[in-house]
Amino acid sequence: MTNRLGIFVICVFLLIGCQTKKPDSKKAVEIRDLNEIVKDGKLRVLIAYSATSYFLYRGQTMGYEYELLKRLAKNLNLELDLKVSRNLDDMLDELKNGNVDLVAHGLAVTQERKEEVAFVDYLYLTKQVLVQRKPDNWRNLTLDDIKEAMIQDPIELIGDTVSVRKNSSYYKRLLNLSKEIGGDIIINPLKGGLSTDEIIKQVVDKKIKYTVADGNLARINASHYPILDVSVPLSFSQRIAWAVRKDSPILLEAINSWINEEKKSSDYYVIYNKYFENKRSFRRRAKSEFYSLNKNQISAYDRLIKEYAQELGWDWRLLASLVYQESQFEPNDSSWAGAKGLMQIMPSTAQELGIKDRGDPNESLRGGTAYLEQLASNFEQVKDSVQRIKFAMAAYNCGYQHVKDAQSLAEIRGLDKYTWDDNVDKMILALSDPQHYNHEAVRYGYVRGTEPYDYVVQIFDRYKLYASLVD
């Protein structure tokens, strides 16, 4: 009996020990309101990769949410740190877990969601509509025949199947609609990684029969796919808004103040029309090979850029970002200073590198990358490869000797002359000031420092966006 009691006591202590040592499965959420965000300098935003929110077209990053976010970040004097959602069903969880500060996605404001997060003032109003196919031979049918072949009233969906993401407002709407019409609509739950545009395309391709979408998004897609009908409303008007955490009231107030001012400007409505009303522009993008939702391409010169990037030892998307910065992928582009071609090579540099036709994409890329490699070799003492690339880029923009002057000033000021970020880049900016460009250590004088500074920043910022959108 005593032995049994002893064994029992030992087991109890072991059980308690296991329970007390068990790690907490709940991760502590970082409290980040506007004050903490300003200290960090970055606004962390979760965005959707889709035909209207955020995408790449001919090397340019575009999208409704993206354009508004750039304006918001500028207003708040913050750097925009974008994270692309891989699962739209998990967006609010990412927000609540503290991984981002803002979800910039077209979320329908519902009572259920309001219990989880705080919504900013609505961006626009829309209705949910049924997305369905017209008959295959619809062009040869009368309007009455077409209507006869399709759903005209939500009650006709009883016993039929509609496919939507499970955590979407569309799913909740279908559940409520089933109750309202007194009959079950069969809901086929789709993966959260699918955007609404992709699901609409599944209707076009006959992979699914019906889906639900916000009216503005459905209409712009139907302009490209005339086989679609999006005329049947399934809801009343709904407010569409972005979301922040409930413990970020100062951020919420700041965004609401910005939205209030934006709605007074014409630009706000121009941006909306650009992505939801301009059907011609949407169709042109949707047909393009250089639209990132169609193909994994940035430009017509991707093959050449990859080839020369490999010789440089760069990520090809980084070189593509530099080419866009120089010429927007226009091979015949010329500058006021006489630079020409994809890499904007000056006549003297072309002669030095043996380039006969600066307008030839292959010649321009060959010469431009050879020059970049030559510049990078002048910074061999810079051990960090990314920093060395930044030095080479700055020299490509303003000249090697000006960058050397900035390094000399950095050393005098007690900064690291082998680090670009927050060191030499500060001195390249300082070379616009007489007290600095007249310093005895400076041999080549004045340079408009904002140009190489912005050049490097913008290329790397664009590269991050390219990397998030193109494999």
Catalytic sites, residue numbers = 326
DSSP annotation of 89: G
Within 10 angstroms of residue 234's Cβ, the number of other Cβ atoms is: 20
Q: Identify residue 465 by its one-letter amino acid code.
A: L
Find the DSSP H helices in 77-195. 91-96, 111-114, 143-148, 169-181
Angle between helices 249-262 and 64-76 (to 10 degrees): 110
Both tokens of residue 451? 């140009």
How far apart, in whole angstroms, are the C-alpha atoms of residue 420 and residue 381?
Answer: 12
Tell me the CA distances in angstroms from 234 to 91, 154, 182, 213, one per residue in order: 24, 7, 15, 10
How far apart, in whole angstroms, are the C-alpha atoms of residue 65 and residue 3?
Answer: 70
How far apart, in whole angstroms, are the C-alpha atoms of residue 176 and residue 185?
Answer: 10
Rounded to 5 degrees, what angle do the CA atoms 57, 60, 64 make? 80
The phi, psi pair for 420, rounded to 5°, reads -75, -55
- Secondary-structure breakdown of the chain: helix, strand, coil percentages, each rounded to the nearest 5: 50, 15, 35
Q: Are 202 and 133 in contact (CB under 8 A)?
A: no
Q: What contacts 205, CB < 8 A, 6 or more positions away? A: none
